[in-house]
Structure 1
């Protein structure tokens, strides 16, 4: 009996992205593998969790997620706070899981959805459809086929000779197509792609690609829909590789900012300002709302107080229209 092989067309664009990402990962690994600061790992993990949950309509911003994980009181819905705690535990447990083992997949879902649904850690036993504004976007396979579909997918993952970058993206799409759980499929798919990538290069366990996906959420959904329509993962694989490439580029910019700021001994720069500079690409001007989206922030007052005003005061960023500081068209750029 022939083993399952996910339908995929390898394109020149795909191969170019794989080559570029592999090169960037090599550079990042050389910089970080020996000694990656614990605070940087934790900061990236928090951004990952906040963004992945924001895609699922969790309203807590990066500051609130940090507070939850620090054991502080946070004004938020109990379910959203539970989602944060669960996600942190799941990502922390990730190194102990084998991405090709069903029992590990079920254990991860049990941890991720603990206290949120009754059947956490169990394959769904009923049909499920994905809707937007009462319009059916995707009807998942029937529950009776889940066991065989997941065994086929995991068996393919264990034996595939495709590059790990492509494997991770294909698995992510196939997992979302099957939709094996009653809830939590989106965050599980992103978690498992990170797990697959981290087995290839450990440094990728802390790459917050979810922040890029969150900022491009409409494109993420469109890529899934395009793959459904094409009956193969190709459109989604290209999207995810582009997201990985952007996340790596931002990670590299962040390290450059850290070095650059440390050289400016007369300027005291907070972690928040460093994060703001990291998402503000040199030569590109963005509105405050766009910067907040990239940072995963929802509260304008927090952004102004902890990020924007200190960066302006330190002379690290500037307004595009300084004569009209309150202009709706105001943008900000790196100095």
Structure 2
């Protein structure tokens, strides 16, 4: 990641302006008189610059590694396609697991952690881990971001957010809705915005600011990674929602990259690259608001190169697991349901009969025969220990996904 002790050459950007506002506690009766006096007073809320027609100085676009990062993402996208083949049934599941890996990393930036098994259990409506359900919401937001990539507008951003918060317990009523209250970063929720590190714009400014951002995203005269980095930072500055701004903003990154045809088949784990050094990422957002976009651009460049390189390793490791499992099925008829289940174990390494019936359209008898075969041949392990509503998992795939997540946490702050 970028060393912010010696920042790169400045990339001038219109700085955020601020409005002076007056704050009074909304429920003063729950505080002491001294605390009410401390909370009452002026604060400054952001007023984001309009950027639809902004253009940098041409020489500032000459950035080392920018071309390398763009080509790395494009090559990873093609590599995934060639590694599995356009007609290979594993391509869809592989794309899904990469998207889920990206969603999980994005959630970890917000301190929402879960294991690959918990996430897979949540996908089949098993388990009761709230974080896993929340991360599933992030998966759905990413899916919406990609599905809506050809027409990025205010409504599609709302749809991303709705898919995100629909799965977050206690936040369902906020899903797909702009906030109508003040939000801030830093300080404490009970103390109001005075003393906060950043106070987001008044909610009355949100819709116009997002319309301006959408106009910026529709342009094609900027390098895609620069456009994605600036659009993401601008979105985080607008902070249009009560919760889920960071995760929606990182889903927007992939919508832009899909729209610009940088990533057409799979989702590179860019948030995994950001996760390695979240402190620098948040510092980069602060620098952006102060009028220098260089740190956030370099953060995205570094994260893109990391995503492409480690993404290839992840694809190879997961494909090797399925290849190994395939050798255990040698001798089975090609029409056997076990062969149909096998590629789906990449994206869904924990399964039950209900999930397989919904996904593959197989009958109960065929599914149970296939699960018996996969268990007997050591492809799957039955983990529930129940006589009904049983659960099977692919230990090898789960191990690879968890080791990838652990490797990001081990390197956090060291690169």
Post-superposition Cα deviations, 1:94-126, rounded to whole Å, max 9, x if no partner, equal: 333145311111122122112615332122222
Residue 270 of structure 1 aligns with which residue? Answer: 396
Distance 1:85 1:278 in 2: 18
Distance 2:411 2:299 in 1: 21
8 Å CA contact 2:116–2:402 kept in 1: the answer is no
Tell me, yes or no, if structure 1 residue 144 matches structure 2 residue 270: no
Cα offset for 1:7? Answer: 7.0
Distance 1:187 1:18 in 2: 24
Residue 244 of structure 2 aligns with which residue? Answer: 184
Cα offset for 1:252? Answer: 2.6
Residue 218 of structure 1 aligns with which residue? Answer: 279
- TM-score, normalised to structure 2, is 0.58
Cα offset for 1:169? Answer: 1.0
Residue 173 of structure 2 aligns with which residue? Answer: 118
Q: 1:101 aligns with which of 120, 128, 153?
A: 153
User: Deviating runs (4+, > 4 A) in structure 1?
Assistant: 6-14, 132-135, 255-263, 272-279
8 Å CA contact 1:49–1:88 kept in 2: the answer is yes
Structure with bigger RCO (C-alpha 8 Å, 6+ apart): 2
Post-superposition Cα deviations, 1:52-96, rounded to whole Å, max 9, x if no partner, equal: 22222223223311221133224x23xx34313322222233333
Tell me, yes or no, if structure 1 residue 254 matches structure 2 residue 314: yes
Residue 66 of structure 1 aligns with which residue? Answer: 120
Structure 2: unaligned runs, 5 residues or longer: 1-49, 328-378, 380-394
Matches within 5 A, 1:293-312: 293=409
Tell me, yes or no, if structure 1 residue 90 matches structure 2 residue 145: no
8 Å CA contact 1:275–1:295 kept in 2: the answer is no
Distance 1:13 1:277 in 2: 37
Post-superposition Cα deviations, 1:294-332, rounded to whole Å, max 9, x if no partner, equal: 699xxxxxxxxxxxxxxxxxxxxxxxxxxxxxxxxxxxx
Q: Which structure is larger by alpha-carbon Rg, 1 or 2?
A: 2
> Whose helix fraction is larger, Structure 1's or Structure 2's?
1
Cα offset for 1:197? Answer: 0.8
Cα offset for 1:276? Answer: 7.2
Residue 291 of structure 1 aligns with which residue? Answer: 407
Aligned residues: 279
Structure 1: unaligned runs, 5 residues or longer: 280-289, 297-335
Residue 238 of structure 1 aligns with which residue? Answer: 298
8 Å CA contact 1:276–1:295 kept in 2: the answer is no
- TM-score, normalised to structure 1, is 0.71
Cα offset for 1:8? Answer: 5.2
User: Using a 3 Å threshold, how does the CA distance of structure 1 residues 3 and 61 change in structure 2: closer, same or farther?
Assistant: closer
What is the root-mean-square deviation of aligned Cα atoms in Å? 3.4
Matches within 5 A, 1:39-50: 39-50=93-104
Cα offset for 1:48? Answer: 1.6
Residue 17 of structure 2 aligns with which residue? Answer: none
Cα offset for 1:160? Answer: 4.3
Matches within 5 A, 1:312-323: none
User: Using a 3 Å threshold, how does the CA distance of structure 1 residues 163 and 82 change in structure 2: closer, same or farther?
Assistant: same
8 Å CA contact 1:212–1:294 kept in 2: the answer is no
Query: Is the partner of 2:197 in helix, strand or coil?
Result: strand
Distance 2:409 2:58 in 1: 32
